[in-house]
Structure 1
Amino acid sequence: MTPMMQNTYDISASGQAVRNRVLRNTYWLLALSMIPTMLGAFVGVSLQVPIFSGFMGFMIFMAIAFGFFWAIEKNKNSGVGVALLLGFTFFMGLMMTPLLTRTLGYSNGGQLIMTAFGGTATILAVMATIASTSKRDFSAMGKWLTAGVVVVLLAAVANIFLGMPALSIAISVLVIGIFSAFILYDVQRIVNGGETNYVTATLSLYLSVYNIFTSLLHLLGLGGSND
């Protein structure tokens, strides 16, 4: 092996090691983020914490969420970014209070929650595996997925006023599809070296997992039993 070939091999191996480390740290932090999420959900349901509702509630939620996004991104290279991310996941756990309270009101509420959790874990595992092993390039999906999120947000705002059950179901189905695809996109970006910060990567994956879980739970709740 010539010196030039050796240098190329060393650089490639080093880059692969960095990508593997980012992916590993992302998965660990994603798993850790579930703890404050569950804690926030437990506090919200136990204390029946008042949660924002209606259009103004939606705007307040978005303002707080984007405030967290900005702060996390600004501090992503320090422990402060990790702390802010975990604080955000606690906040998102609180925001599940109405959905969890309604679901737990069903006689099979606990089963519905575990089914949604299992379904979300399965989607994450399948999409992450495909992204890590497939030779197909998913990078072109980014702009279309972003456009899809905008459409879903606009539909969600409209349905605050319309209150149409059919539209609510359609939104949940779209959310599951869009954020499942986002897992493909985000994991492959890490694998290919397009994302090198595990805090930012974790935030992206967390939002996908959260939205898939809540949408699945919403759909499963339509078949909830009060018996």
Structure 2
Amino acid sequence: MSNRPDYLNMKQGHAQDAVAEPVDFQQQSGVISHDGRKVLRNTYALLSMTLIFSGVMAAVSVAFNVPHFGLLTLVGYFALLFLVEKTKNSAMGLVSVFALTGFMGLTLGPIISFYSSLPGGSETIAMAMGTTGLIFMAMSGWVLSTGKDLSGWGKTLMVGILVAFVCSLGAFFFEIPALSLAVSAMFIMLMSGLIAYETSAILHGGETNYISATVTLYVAIYNLFLSLLQILGVMGSDD
């Protein structure tokens, strides 16, 4: 039997009570659903583990003085990203996520070694890490506290990231320092927006797979850290 009130047969007083009863539209529409919060919890748990694992692999890379991966970084990243996409709905997806984040940690080692060798390099790395953490907490905290639906940001972020990626290739091949710094500034803004966008997508049901969500947030954090590291490194070298 349906629990819906019978407006045709109920008495007038009861009908008025039913109409006057307040409705929790947020709960009714499922704007921020229980499932969304569950996916968010799983995402944060997996993200924490992958960041720790990636940090360990970066430390191993530094300890063994692993050389810079160059374009192999992009090849390995896209290959492992494809693997994650294919396995994200199975237990193998967890293995794929750790393979991807572990590989990215290895590629981070030579970069950290380079900045560590510069005057004040350790402070620059620590500042980049701290700023990355603050930005992540600020953007995700903003969405979590306000419940903002940022689904409209998707196309803008996609186009912006594509443009920034193409510009980064140009800066790499043509060795243009000014363009490289501009790209880093673009990535800081874009990755900050991506963190907020993905958090919103999880809460509002736009992203229901915590493995995909983890990879998106990890990539945003990774690029945010590298971009901050480059800009802070240049600023430190001017002192």
The TM tier, using the shorter chain, reads 0.7 to 0.9
How many angstroms does 1:10 deviate by? Answer: 8.8
User: Is residue 175 from structure 1 mapped to residue 175 from structure 2 by the alignment?
Assistant: no
1:1-227 alignment runs, 5 A limit: 3-4=3-4, 16-53=33-70, 57=71, 60-134=72-146, 136-224=148-236
Q: What's the TM-score once normalised by structure 2's chain length?
A: 0.83
Tell me, yes or no, if the aligned pair for 1:99 and 1:218 is still in contact at 8 Å. no
Quote the Cα distance in structure 1 between the aligned partners of 2:213 and 2:46: 10
Percent identical across equivalent pairs? 35
Q: What's the TM-score once normalised by structure 1's chain length?
A: 0.87
How many angstroms does 1:99 deviate by? Answer: 1.9
Quote the Cα distance in structure 1 between the aligned partners of 2:198 and 2:129: 21
Q: Unpaired segments of 5 or more residues in structure 1? A: none
1:4/1:77 CA distance change after superposition, 3 Å = farther
SS of equivalent to 1:223: helix
How many angstroms does 1:226 deviate by? Answer: 11
Quote the Cα distance in structure 2 between the aligned partners of 1:101 and 1:226: 20
Q: Unpaired segments of 5 or more residues in structure 2? A: 6-22
Quote the Cα distance in structure 2 between the aligned partners of 1:30 and 1:41: 16
RMSD: 2.5
How many angstroms does 1:137 deviate by? Answer: 3.2
Quote the Cα distance in structure 1 between the aligned partners of 2:221 and 2:75: 21
1:9/1:226 CA distance change after superposition, 3 Å = closer
Tell me, yes or no, if the aligned pair for 1:22 and 1:197 is still in contact at 8 Å. yes
Tell me, yes or no, if the aligned pair for 2:148 and 2:200 is still in contact at 8 Å. no
- Aligned residues between the structures: 219
